[in-house]
Structure 1
């Protein structure tokens, strides 16, 4: 997808007011549709009701229903209560409720929330209409204009300003979009009393010529410290090379600066794949907060995670690779870091991040991971006494309250998993020996148990840095203590 941000200017205040009124009605239409969808309304009945109440044409109503559905599905996917949604933004709404500011600052905050809530309009493109019927780009000798349908056979024209930095190149692209006949979507947003337009058109990528038949490069993005770990594997899944791409500019700076550097780092990954003639394997990330404070416990780490933008960087890698004809494979990210740390970091004496990238690469080739014999021996001989002793060791050793709580929960989950196998601790059934990933529903659980049984005794209060100690454990089947 290619998206171009522009600013709209209107010949008269009346035209600007007509568009503002259209945006207000459309935004209200989305909220109304959302509430009716929660109540289980039929789409056809809902569409007729929306057209009657908000005086919008069929296409605008279709787009409003689509937006409402996308918000509803997003809340359900995140296992959040969809009835608690606040259009305009919960964070801004909470600030307004607290009344911790007054005067001009409060008025500015209230205006921002109202603009986010009421100042929206979205219009999908249509191939049969050669572009976009409700919001169409038109070009004449006076410049580029956006024709906006504000009512039955009534149109308003707004001049498109492409921006002073890249105005000429963007104007040329907008002209091409307007005359090519391909469908393009237009989204209007109200910000600080001004109307901005976002034009989006689908990009046609060339057919992939670099595929996984030549091997792959797996990438693992890490937020602290900021870097991309990569690992190259041949077509058989054997490790060929590995390395890191440092990303020091993503921890600070304004959003425009970070966006620029994200493109630069994505280019480095794509150039690497282009040089080595390898496909790229990335994680299919589903980034969401875990609890009220998110995944990270400290303020600094939460800030780094917020600024890091995993998905944005991966999307850029994907787009740039597809433009170069390089195949991009997305895989399930579950337990890649755990498997990399336990199996490949000690085997090849590489970092846990590079090992995770290698697991991602192998997963992209469709290969499955087998648990080493020494590790399985540890799981098979686990008993309730050992896990209880490990709990006591964690309570005495780990001083950080949140980390201690996390370690204890990991041990409890390991206990529940072993008990769910239908056996007592210490009697894990032999058919699980050498279990491959994906071979049974409990395979990931075994890796979880291994992390508890192997890594926690060695390093309960910090990240395990010396992976060489795991090499001895992996082959001996005995967990010792680092000297």
Structure 2
């Protein structure tokens, strides 16, 4: 009897230690801003905002013909209307905005191309044909097939338009944010009046950002903050008459202290190391804030083997919680699992606070256990959110879209770097499926039912430790061979052939079956290595 064909396993990447954050940003409120201070801040923000908007228009007009000559010409014009350092900050911000729009345009093209490819594949299949090997099948009815042909024509036209814009170097960018721009057309849904929207729009388009300079006084000549918290601005040339200090500077009445990382910030400014500042207004609360940011030095990279020595915490990411389990260095689950819930509804600030709270509790538990690393999946659902790929599975698409992959990754890396804990990223392939298959039932007790998410956390942790997800095979039953003896061999991670096929051994153990006919004598693909089979098992036959 021919064996059923198995779906080939995709290639699984090796676990790696994720890089930490490259920069630091802290914020403090400008308390006690006087009316004169607010007048000056508004005047400088409006003036520099107009210059930044005009510079962005020129950069977009240059497109792919941008060169050092055009950049120098733009900076000369900005210097005449402000100062050389203000001009440098404006051009730097303009280049960042243009580059970000260019990358977003490329990702949009990739998304459109993936949708077109999927639609063409499904339209080429007969109506009602089922999918196979991870590929979707045909459409259910002629009506749906017709609607998808219209959808394909729309995507092809949109793809051609975006591709033509990319080839000519044209990008779409909005100073102030596209989300806020679109709210103007539906103020009722945004629950804002025209005056409120106008105030937010103007504040979002102000420019009060200054790049830092090393070896300059307190690390910044444009927006200078002394170690004792005094804030002063170098006014642009047309607004020099508003100065209240020497050399065309204006000193604010309010001071800052930066409660978070204040000592680190003071050490930098005292040593005249570069610190970038940004002043902005929260229109809803009527508060002014000052952000300070700087580049942090490279953290020492701890080898993966050293991180594995003390065990890890495997974390499974879900739409509403993190499922975590502690594993020792041998891949055995220890203690009880933990669940860290978060609610991603509401505003962006509320979602960010929920993530920070969940990750804070996770890191506190990691410190209490003494582990040096947290294992998490290297998730990226960019190609799995399209309606063309999953069709009517709206709930599944919403579930994938609800998992905060990029935001959680950035937050986790930043918070782990401050806690002295490393992050091991693993390939997410088959972790949920094999975790439920091999670990959910053994870990379930009467008082503690193990969910699929907890089992997936164990699978993630074992993969980060270099172990296979599959558990060690149980010994034979009591009535077979010496009452429970001859446990199958457990090969070490470095042994060659550990993932090979089980040898074909005839004899009484196979109950009279001939050589090569045993049920377990061939491929047993239930492990987490690509293109390989179950562990190499050597049966010790008793005489």
TM-score, reference length from structure 1? 0.61
CA apart distance, 1:105: 1.3
Partners of 1:102 and 1:434 in 2: how far apart?
53
CA contact (8 A) 1:162 1:171 kept: no
Q: How does 1:129-208 map onto structure 2 within 5 Å?
A: 129=216, 131-138=219-226, 144-148=230-234, 150-151=236-237, 155-159=248-252, 161=254, 169=259, 175=266, 177-192=268-283, 196-202=289-295
Q: Answer 1 or 2: which has greater helix percent.
A: 1
Distance in structure 2 (CA, Å) of the matches to 1:203 and 1:338: 40
Partner of 1:125: 212
Q: 1:34·1:72 contact (CA, 8 Å) conserved in 2?
A: no
Say which SS state the counterpart of residue 282 (structure 1) adopts: strand
Q: How does 1:299-314 map to 2 (within 5 A)?
A: 311-314=406-409
Tell me by how many angstroms 1:84 deviates. Answer: 4.2
1:247 aligns with 2:276: no
Q: Distance in 2 between matches of 1:160 and 1:370?
A: 65
State the 1:252 CA deviation: 5.8
Distance 1:336 1:103, change over 3 A: closer
**Distance in 2 between residues matched to 1:160 and 1:292, nearest whole Å:** 54
- Larger RCO (CA under 8 A, 6+ residues apart): 2
Bigger mean CA deviation after superposition, 68-77 or 272-281: 68-77
Matched, 1:331 2:426: yes
The 8 Å contact of residues 219 and 272 in structure 2, kept in 1 or not, is answered as yes
Please state how far the C-alpha of 1:137 moved relative to its aligned partner: 1.4
Structure 1 CA distance for aligned equivalents of residues 288 and 278 of structure 2: 10
The partner residue of 1:213 within 309, 320, 333 is: 309
CA distance in 1, matches of 2:72, 2:430: 48
Q: Is the 8 A contact 1:218 1:231 kept in 2?
A: yes
Shift of 1:367: 4.7
2:95 equivalent in structure 1: 65
Tell me the distance in 2 between the aligned counterparts of 1:151 and 1:259: 40
- 1:358/1:92 Cα in 2 relative to 1: closer, same or farther (>3 Å)? same
Once the two structures are TM-superposed, the CA of residue 229 in structure 1 deviates from its matched residue by 0.5
CA contact 2:375–2:461 (8 Å) conserved in 1: yes
Query: In the alignment, which residue of structure 1 is the partner of 2:378?
Result: 284
Please name the residue that 1:417 is paired with. none
Structure 2 CA distance for partners of 1:16 and 1:89, relative to 1, 3 Å: closer
Aligned residue for 2:309, secondary structure, equals: helix
Query: Are 1:50 and 2:74 counterparts?
Result: yes
Specify the alignment match of 1:354 in structure 2.
454
Q: CA deviation at 1:119?
A: 1.7
CA contact (8 A) 1:34 1:68 kept: yes
Matched, 1:22 2:118: no
Contact preservation (8 Å) 1:213, 1:235: yes
- Structure 2 unmatched ranges of 5 or more: 1-23, 112-161, 241-246, 445-449, 474-520, 534-543
Query: Quick one: distance in 1 between partners of 2:327 and 2:188?
Result: 56
Unmatched tracts of structure 1, length 5 or more: 374-429, 447-483
Given the superposition, is the C-alpha separation of residues 59 and 337 from structure 1 closer, same or farther in structure 2, using an over 3 Å criterion?
farther
Aligned to 1:227: 321
Tell me the secondary structure at the aligned position of residue 23 of structure 1. helix
- Kept in 2, the 8 Å contact 1:270–1:317? The answer is no
Secondary structure at 1:24 match in 2: helix
CA-to-partner distance for each residue in 1:199-257, whole Å, 9 max, x for gaps? 1234569758882222211112322xx32201223334343455122426x35677666
Q: 1:331-410 alignment to 2 at 5 Å?
A: 331-346=426-441, 348-349=443-444, 350-367=450-467
TM-score (ref. length: structure 2): 0.55
Is contact 2:340–2:361 with CA below 8 Å preserved after alignment?
A: no
C-alpha deviations, 1:64-108, integer Å up to 9, x for none?
A: 313432343244346465734444333333332457689981243
Q: Deviations over 1:373-423 (max 9, x none)?
A: 9xxxxxxxxxxxxxxxxxxxxxxxxxxxxxxxxxxxxxxxxxxxxxxxxxx
Distance in structure 1 (CA, Å) of the matches to 2:470 and 2:409:
28
Query: SS in structure 1 opposite 2:220?
Result: coil
Q: CA RMSD, aligned part only? A: 4.7
SS at the partner of 2:219? Answer: coil
8 Å CA contact 1:3, 1:199 repeated in 2 = yes
CA gap of 1:76–1:115, structure 2 versus 1, over 3 A, is farther
Corresponding residue SS for 2:212:
coil
Which residue does 2:130 correspond to in 1?
A: none
Q: Which moved more, 1:100-109 or 1:361-370?
A: 100-109
Structure label with greater radius of gyration: 2
Could you tell me whether the CA contact under 8 Å between 2:435 and 2:469 is conserved in 1?
Answer: no
- What is the CA–CA distance in structure 1 between the aligned matches of 2:177 and 2:457, rounded to whole Å? 36
Q: Deviations over 1:415-460 (max 9, x none)?
A: xxxxxxxxxxxxxxx99863865646xx9xx9xxxxxxxxxxxxxx
**What's the secondary structure of 2:183's corresponding residue?**
helix
